[in-house]
Structure 1
């Protein structure tokens, strides 16, 4: 979604339109999504045409069928990618050691931090539940049967909640994995524990279990012992030679490629390779087997 937003901003250079695009992306229902697009259309009809060319199931929460837990970008992986990229240019042993050492520290820090938590849910999920409880105080609840409820709000209208299937008409419960305010109102009306209806991945117990294993320290490589195959004698060892792949590799270090949102203002020319007769590259960059 971040790449879509960046490309959209280059095309239209309007921060208000960019903000509306993000609001449309975060909209939980199709009705909310279309309402945001109408607001964009009032400002720029061309912007809506541009947005309509993007398959909404790939970027809009309202059209997403799975559980996204509120994430629309890959920012959650940025901390991991930053130090992996720093290590990727090292020789293989040093690279693996750098990654292992960072993971060892990472696991220990998170394990120790989780031991200080006294709530059932991790802090972010606990805050979300508490906010939902506060909002639910102003809702009116009507029960239809043991699982279905009508939750009425003066500002949001009526939403249908099914606590058995953990779903709400607003789709907040399904998409975030944590009961929405309507779901919380229904659960509290029948004296149910809200925390029991939260996805297990948000519990402190699951978090601690994730980081329970220890990545042990390793001594300097000068102290490593060479291992033989099934206890063979030193003189019976056979040196294994690994040959390079049978392909033509371009000189220099390979370029790092990053997939970005489609640039709709540019028409790409199809190129052909005179060596393998395939499209998408030239002879000088051909890596097909010789």
Structure 2
């Protein structure tokens, strides 16, 4: 109950389109994408050379061969580099579940507190065992 209240208060203070923790992860991926080289291979398809390996990225399908983008819904460093190449804002392709609207929908409800069992109405039925 108190967690929902504190998350609701936190949601009211948020600004932007995605949650702050996701924004931090996205910014980290954007910073790490500086070490990547992008080679366009076709319409929305890229070949990305990183420090460790080479990856194929399809920004239209939001897929990377490293599979981090598909697993998390947040563009990986390779995807972030391709989005930069295409001049697309990375927050646009972040999964909708990380939006502030989804956060508010999850924590915006109120959980009503229960009164003490001693003040509950008495019934004539048999007692309920726990």
State the TM-score, normalizing by the size of structure 2. Answer: 0.84
Larger % of strand: which?
Answer: 2
Equivalent residues of 1:119, 1:126 under 8 A apart: no
Does 1:213 pair with 2:117?
A: no
Structure 2 counterpart of 1:112, from 3, 6, 9? 9
- Cα distance in 2 for partners of 1:213, 1:193 equals 31
Structure 1 length normalisation: TM-score? 0.40
Distance 1:197 1:133 in 2: 13
Question: Are residues 213 and 226 of structure 1, via their aligned partners in 2, closer, same or farther at CA, if it must alter by over 3 Å?
Answer: farther
**Is this contact kept in 2: 1:141–1:186, CA < 8 A?**
yes
* Cα shift at 1:223: 4.0
1:182 aligns with 2:71: no
Paired position in structure 2 for 1:125: 22
Q: 1:122 to 1:242 in 2, by over 3 A?
A: same
Runs of 5+ unmatched residues, structure 1: 1-103, 228-238, 245-290
Report the 3-state secondary structure (helix = DSSP H, G, I; strand = E; otherwise coil) of the residue aligned with 2:54: strand
Larger Rg: 1
Structure 1 residues 106, 243: CA separation in 2 closer, same or farther (over 3 Å shift)?
A: closer
Tell me how far apart the structure 2 counterparts of residues 138 and 131 of structure 1 sit (CA, whole Å): 12
Partner of 1:141: 38
Tell me what 2:88 maps to.
192
- Equivalences, count: 129
Tell me how large the CA RMSD over aligned residues is.
Answer: 2.3
Q: In 2, distance between residues paired with 1:169 and 1:221?
A: 56
> Deviations 1:216-256 (Å, cap 9, x if unpaired)?
234444444458xxxxxxxxxxx444798xxxxxxxxxxxx
Q: Which has the higher contact order (CA 8 A, sep 6+)?
A: 2
2:42 alignment partner, SS class = coil
